Chains A and B, each alone.
Chain A
């Protein structure tokens, strides 16, 4: 099973600041990584797939990069609606499909 480790667990930032979230895989997963945003009471939202492709309707302030074992999600300038929990997920080797432990982006 591929384990995804996200860091930091919590990111305390102010609106307008840049957020950098990390996801590390226990073995190479090429670029088969997605990022999701979760908010309480809402459906999870796909942000990035295949490591760097923004999903339909996702603002340009969200970007993803990486390949192999190290990946990054960057939010260039935080908007109030971006404060949420973010998860990475791999589809390189499955079953099982696996998710990371999450990074909570909170208002400082």
Chain B
């Protein structure tokens, strides 16, 4: 059974930092690109960042480029999101998502998601 479990969310002041983790199980983690998506209150999902299976290619949304860093440890089956210089508008539930296709297929559709971790940025 595929499982994705996010952790690391919490309450942080503007300008602060958080590191989110996503523990994956039930599939060959190193064969799939992984993605972070967030959903702010009352809005639709927002794609944030994607990291290729071997961590050789990274992609970021303009809203987080330069502040957030995606990484992975394939030996630990874990995806990370380092979030710096947090702003009030970063308040959201953060999800990690598994790419539908493995290494041989296209990136950008997500067949499994975690339940999310809440990040609240407020003074």
Binding site for B on A (CB under 8 A): 32, 34, 36, 38, 41-46, 49-50, 55-56, 87, 89-91, 94-102
What is the distance, in angstroms, from B93's C-beta to the closest C-beta of chain A?
10
Q: Are B100 and A46 in contact (CB under 8 A)?
A: yes
Q: Are A46 and B110 in contact (CB under 8 A)?
A: yes
Contact partner, B115, options A36, A42, A91, Cβ 8 Å: A42
- Overall SS of chain A's interface: loop
Q: Are B44 and A101 in contact (CB under 8 A)?
A: yes
Q: Are A46 and B109 in contact (CB under 8 A)?
A: yes
Q: Are A99 and B62 in contact (CB under 8 A)?
A: no
A46 to B109: give the CA distance in the assembly, Å: 8
What is the distance, in angstroms, from A8's C-beta to the closest C-beta of chain B?
15
Chain A's closest residue to B65 (CB) is A95
Residues of B within 8 A of A42 (CB): 115
> Known contacts A43-B95, A46-B110, A91-B108: does B47 contact A96 (CB below 8 Å)?
yes
